[in-house]
Amino acid sequence: MDWARAILDLLIQPLLWLSALILIFAVGQNLFYLYQTIMAWLEFRRNHEAERLLGTHRIMTARTTPGISIIAPAYNEEANIVESVRSLLSLHYPAMEVIVVNDGSKDQTASRMIEAFDLQPVHRAYAMLTAHKPIRGIYRSARFKNLLFIDKENGGKSDALNAGINLARHPLFCSIDADSILDADALLRAARPFVDSPNRVIAAGGTIRVANGCRVYKGTILEEHVSRKALPLFQTLEYFRAFLIARLAFSRMKSVTIISGAFGLFSRKAVLQIGGYSHGTVGEDMELVVRLNRFFCERRTAYAVRYIPDPVCWTEVPETLKVLRRQRTRWQRGLCETLARHRVMVGRPRYGRTGTIAMPLFVIFDVVGPILDLIGLVLIPILAAAGVLSLTFFLAYFSVVCLFGIFLSILALILAEKSRFRSNRLRDMVYLLLGAIIENFGYRQLNNLWRIEGLFQFLQKKQGWGEMTRTGFKATTQAPGCD
């Protein structure tokens, strides 16, 4: 069968080239992550110095500290809403208001709020500076004068945030998820860049940490612990890498393009200039920051978007594969939507480092990367088993993907230990170390699969968030001293 051998030979050569390309890509990707880690270390040290000089009590007492309107969109959040709002009201900040936007919830979110905070209908003047669905009513708490509750028709998270922005009265607004918990001093820490450079900084993001496994009481984190369940543990490591390494490095490279929707601080004026959050995207947080970058670059106005690691927001992460998959595919869809919507920026020096560094890297490592990773995962073992690729090649690929991955994860853990995110218990450190090793064998590959699924959903123009099932912090709640 000479013709069969000829066809096989013809096929094998491109596959060999593809395997080599995949290996080179994996090496390049990991080297870039290593570079990011070094940048993150440098930025971490600089932040630490700034934090030392300008402590939170100085921001608390300074006359230049701008007021903040906290906007918490809520959709079917009856499990957590009261605890979360209580936690928001207890934050340390000299001038703030809390605006909870009920985005047409179908559950008891509104009634829980009305009952818990003694809400009463009020008039509040506002301009329709950003578009949103009609507001059904505005309520103010009789007990907490700085708590406002907006009841509006369902229009999605962006829509709810836009309504909150219209009603906000302070120059800065903080977008947070209603089910998240902020550290008491998070706002003070997050406001630092705005106090440092009030005319330049238009947005700043903080760190999101995983609350699963922590002891929570009345909307406050009592004890910081790592979850013993595998999925939250792996996500804890992912969040460390994403925030303490990637975002810190992007901040160093002056090209921050993502501020998490769960906790971000924005100049209201800047966001109004670009018309608020855009509708019809599931990645509204990234889209907003990219649009801000685009707007200010096009107008050649000096601006800065910062990430600072110290302000911490705690969030509950999915504990089942089903919910996690839904979340990850949605994130990937959001990323692709933003990249597609602002494709004109990619590689263009006009858009500064966002266009020349951040966005091309997203395309290479977050869109193309998962595809190559998955092809490599299937192709290289098959070719090695068939004897087409050498065992050394297979081991080299395995080493780069898994062992180098372990190395990078542990570097992130070491950085976390050097920061204020250090673990309180030795067994948490051991769990994290085990997690950093195990996640490289299955979990990461699964994630790549979901990313590809998200990419396909984007190509099919799938819309919507899907339901996010939460257990509620109450499930882990215990009064202090009730161990």
Partner 1 sequence: MLTVLIILCIVLASLSALAYLLLILGRAVSLRREREEAMAINAWKEKLLAALYEQADRDSRERHWLMVAGNMLINQIEGGDRDRLVALLASTGARDRLIRQLATGNRHAREDAAEALAFYQDELARQALWRAMNDRTHSVRFQAARALIRMKAVEDIQALLLKLDPADNASLLVADLLLQLPPEQLASTASLLNQPVGEGLVIQLIQLYGEKHLTETGPAVLATLDHPDARVREAAWRTLGKLETPLERNTVLRGLNDLDPEVSAMAVEYVGRMKAVDYLDDVTALLEHPNWWVGFRAAEALYSLGETGRKVLRASVIGGVATAADVARRVLLEYEPETQPGGAH
- Footprint of partner 1 (CB under 8 A): 27, 49-50, 53-54, 58-59, 61-64, 120-125, 127, 129, 195-199, 390, 392-393, 395-396, 399-400, 403-404, 406-407, 410-411, 413-414, 417, 422-423, 426, 429-430, 433, 437
Q: At residue 285, what is the residue type?
A: D
Question: Do strands 68-74 and 147-152 pair parallel, antiparallel, or not at all (unpaired)?
Answer: unpaired
Q: How far apart are CA 317 and CA 319, in angstroms?
A: 6
Q: Which residue shows structure tokens 């270390």?
A: 41
- Which CB atom, from 427 or from 474, has the smaller least distance to partner 1? 427
**Residue closest to 268 by CA, chosen among 61, 101, 84, 127:** 127
Helix (H, G, I), strand (E, B) or coil at 140: strand
H/E element, 42: helix 2-53
- Which CB atom, from 135 or from 437, has the smaller least distance to partner 1? 437
- Which CB atom, from 45 or from 322, has the smaller least distance to partner 1? 45
Taking the complex as a whole, how short is the minimal distance between the CB of residue 385 and partner 1, in angstroms?
Answer: 18
Taking the complex as a whole, how short is the minimal distance between the CB of residue 481 and partner 1, in angstroms?
Answer: 20
Taking the complex as a whole, how short is the minimal distance between the CB of residue 416 and partner 1, in angstroms?
Answer: 10
Q: How far apart are CA 147 and CA 143, in angstroms?
A: 9
Taking the complex as a whole, how short is the minimal distance between the CB of residue 220 and partner 1, in angstroms?
Answer: 24
Q: How far apart are CA 437 and CA 87, in angstroms?
A: 35
**Contact (Cβ atoms closer than 8 angstroms) between residue 416 and residue 240:** yes
Q: How many C-beta atoms lie closer than 10 Å to residue 128's C-beta? A: 10
- Which CB atom, from 49 or from 298, has the smaller least distance to partner 1? 49
- Which CB atom, from 21 or from 430, has the smaller least distance to partner 1? 430
Q: How far apart are CA 232 and CA 382, in angstroms?
A: 32
- Which CB atom, from 6 or from 414, has the smaller least distance to partner 1? 414
Kindly state the tokens that stand for 318.
């999915």
Taking the complex as a whole, how short is the minimal distance between the CB of residue 255 and partner 1, in angstroms?
Answer: 24
- Which CB atom, from 388 or from 410, has the smaller least distance to partner 1? 410
**Residue closest to 327 by CA, chosen among 206, 208, 182:** 208
- Which CB atom, from 121 or from 442, has the smaller least distance to partner 1? 121
Provide DSSP, 182-219. E-TTHHHHHTHHHHHSTTTEEEEEEEEEE-TTSEEETT
Q: Give 145's contacts (C-beta < 8 A, 6+ positions apart).
A: none
Taking the complex as a whole, how short is the minimal distance between the CB of residue 405 and partner 1, in angstroms?
Answer: 9
Taking the complex as a whole, how short is the minimal distance between the CB of residue 434 and partner 1, in angstroms?
Answer: 10
H/E element, 101: strand 96-103
Taking the complex as a whole, how short is the minimal distance between the CB of residue 62 and partner 1, in angstroms?
Answer: 5
Taking the complex as a whole, how short is the minimal distance between the CB of residue 85 and partner 1, in angstroms?
Answer: 22
Kindly state the tokens that stand for 199.
């005319």
Helix (H, G, I), strand (E, B) or coil at 310: strand
- Which CB atom, from 323 or from 403, has the smaller least distance to partner 1? 403
